[in-house]
Amino acid sequence: MSGLKTAVLLGGLSALFLLIGRAVGGESGLIIAFGFAVVMNIGSYWFSDKIVLRMYRAQPVGPEHPLYRMTERLAQRAGLPMPKVYVLPDQAANAFATGRNPNHAAVAATEGILRLLPESELEGVMAHELAHVRNRDILISSVAATIGAAIMMLAQMAQFAAIFGGGQRDGDRGSSPIAMLATAMLAPLAAGLIQAAISRQREFQADRTGAEIAGSPMGLAQALRRLDAASRQIPMDANPATAHMFIMKPFSAQGLASLFSTHPPTEARVAALLGPR
């Protein structure tokens, strides 16, 4: 069901892309904008792991580290190749997975989470991160980002076209400048909402898969509650562009901003984990 919802949301992004493309006018502009977005996000897909790990000063650890041995045990249970394992020198409690596919994956945990969580709960967290690897969520988020970036580019083109009297479509009389401007303003908001919804669906799915890998939902459920409380005391100074990667959103979202949150409410995640399976 989660996969179906993600497919529907990706379809919604694609439809939005085509809608704003019509507003801008001309198939050539549509293709150029999409081409730029694809090139930009292919680069991100191939190199984002190195960029993110360097951004957070991640330090690799080997078999002598307990986190490595725990991850190795869970990866074997999940039927995954052994990922690279990193520790972030950060007092906030959090963790993430990155890498373009299971053969080029990495998992990372902060010093804060290693001190905060008992072994059973940390195991649930690392199982969740390995679930992202097994479910290929980096690829899914890259596809969503490609379409979202193309929508942003087309929206900017539409704004210029509306202001300077453009909007001619191939073989057509063109779009109303007011309609074009409204589309240019609303489409990026709608794209942001859909991308956030995709991210939330993938978090729910990773929670379920992680519970299966760990053998029980209890450790992850307890960890999520503990991490939620800890994030309010020591929020993580994270780049908003990487917020979707972490198991717990690095900063809180209040009011309308919560609509664009990349993570479901913690209690909803816990309820889904502990509810009927």
Structure confidence by residue, pLDDT tens digits, 73-87:
999 999 999 999 999
User: How many domains are there within the chain?
Assistant: 1
Q: How many CB atoms lie within 10 A of CB 101?
A: 12
Q: Is the pTM of this model over 0.85?
A: no
Q: For residue 254, what pLDDT is reported?
A: 54
Q: For residue 171, what pLDDT is reported?
A: 46
Which residues are known catalytic residues? 129
Using CA atoms in the order 146, 150, 151, 157, what is the torsion angle rounded to 10 degrees? 170
Contacts with 251 (C-beta within 8 Å, 6 or more apart), sequence order:
235, 236, 238, 240, 243
pLDDT(215) > 60: yes
pLDDT-derived band at 170, boundaries 50, 70, 90: very low
Instruction: Give the structural domain span for 33.
Output: 2-274
Q: Helix (H, G, I), strand (E, B), or coil: what is residue 95?
A: strand
Return the closest-CA partner of residue 158 out of 21, 252, 43. 21
